[in-house]
Chains A and B, each alone.
Chain A
């Protein structure tokens, strides 16, 4: 059933209709993005464990740049219609807002 919650670009017709075992452009981007995701997770732990300041800041910069690179690959996938997003129902947002607004009695500040 088609709803109006979908956020997606039309898929550009670059990929073969019938896909074979060989890697295509979408696979390359997907795998590249996975590599970046793995790197950011692992770098994060290395940074947390770094001993001195210079090492810490260099690793942190590498982490930031890797995040940016992952984002660029994600954006490119979205532009090519290989990422579909779905908007949540407005009612669900309102319910959550009410619920978490209700916790204000617990705020210590």
Chain B
């Protein structure tokens, strides 16, 4: 049996214009994956650069390694977020009620 009446809090829900800066469950899984790939990548490039004999190749491998370490740092900033506060600041049914009063 179906009903056409929508639940009351759905009518009062303020729309969220864009996805908030919250790390979702899925985001975290991909971030952890990417961090692991980057870590392995720059360790490997560092090791290769140490082993390489041609100075130009050595330099290119080191450059790539440094880039992957930078990427690692960049990804890490996305784990330094406060999901709790971000979620608390989302417009919810309670804010909607205050607005409509």
Contacts and interface: CB of A to CB of B under 8 A. Distances in A.
A42 B34 contact: yes
A50 interface: yes
A55 B22 CA distance: 9
Q: Which of A28, A35, A65: most chain B CB closer than 10 A?
A: A28
B24 interface: yes
Interface string A38-58: 110011011001111111001
A23 B51 CA distance: 9
Interface of A: 14, 23, 25, 28-29, 31-32, 35-36, 38-39, 42-43, 45-46, 49-55, 58-59, 61-62, 65-66, 69, 72-73, 76, 80
User: Is chain B's binding surface mostly helix, strand, loop or mixed?
Assistant: helix
B10 to A, nearest CB: 22
8 closest A-B pairs (Cβ-Cβ)? A46-B30, A28-B48, A52-B19, A51-B24, A62-B71, A25-B57, A69-B64, A25-B52
Contact of B78 (A28, A55, A65, A66): A55
B22 A42 contact: no
